[in-house]
Structure 1
Amino acid sequence: MNDQLTPINKDHLKKLIRAELELTWFDNKSSSPDMSWVTPTVLETLFTELITHTRGNQSKAARMLGLNRGSFSKKLNQITSNKLGLVESL
């Protein structure tokens, strides 16, 4: 059994998302909050932190996500291009 702590506290992540949604829970005017920023932000953070953590080793970073290196590399290129403003959407 793996007794290591997970690098991401899932409960904390859930609390952050719920806190963002809670702002509109009782407000009928804005009952559909804009959460479109969550996925791109999480992906950008995850991929850039993994590539930093693995000291640029894309194969190792890809394995940590359960992806092949090609898929990881493609997504990383999309993220870095988007971050630099070269691509408008992921």
Structure 2
Amino acid sequence: MNTAENRTPHLTLAQADSQDTLRNCVRRSLIEYFNNLEGEFVNDLYPMVLAEMEIPLLEKVLEYTRGNQTKAAEMLGLNRGTLRKKLKQYGLL
């Protein structure tokens, strides 16, 4: 049942705002991701997107704080234990 009326409409990057904010970068990435699915269904999208965002966030904050987990946790609004748990979860520790 892959008829034209059952297919997800193809989105364009022009539909995302052109201003280069973090939100719009995510929006453009999601548009590209959905366009590449070519109508296929995806499960567990929410945790996948969170991990895709969280890993570079943790990496860059740690880089910015020169590996200081206390400062990184404060910057992220997390307690240090939660930060360490996330670092272990993603193999970053």
TM-score range, shorter chain: 0.5 to 0.7
Measured in 2, the distance between the counterparts of 1:24 and 1:70 equals 37
Cα deviation code 1:30-66 (max 9, x no counterpart): 1x13646433232221112211110011111111211
Counterpart-to-counterpart distance in 2, 1:18 and 1:12: 10
Equivalences for 1:1-90 in 2 at 5 Å? Answer: 9-24=22-37, 27=39, 30=40, 32-33=41-42, 35=45, 37-80=48-91
Q: State the TM-score, normalized to the length of structure 1.
A: 0.61
Equivalences, count: 71
Residue identity opposite 1:60 in structure 2: K
Rg larger in structure: 2
8 A contact 1:21–1:33 mirrored in 2 = no
Q: Which amino acid aligns with 1:33?
A: V
Show structure 1 runs of 5+ residues with no match: 1-7, 84-90
Instruction: Give the RMSD, CA atoms, in angstroms.
Output: 2.5
CA distance in 2, matches of 1:59, 1:45: 18
- What is the rounded CA distance, in whole Å, between the counterparts of 2:62 and 2:23 in structure 1? 21
Bigger relative CO (Cα 8 Å, ≥ 6 apart) = 2
Stretches of structure 2 that go unaligned for 5 or more consecutive residues are: 1-20
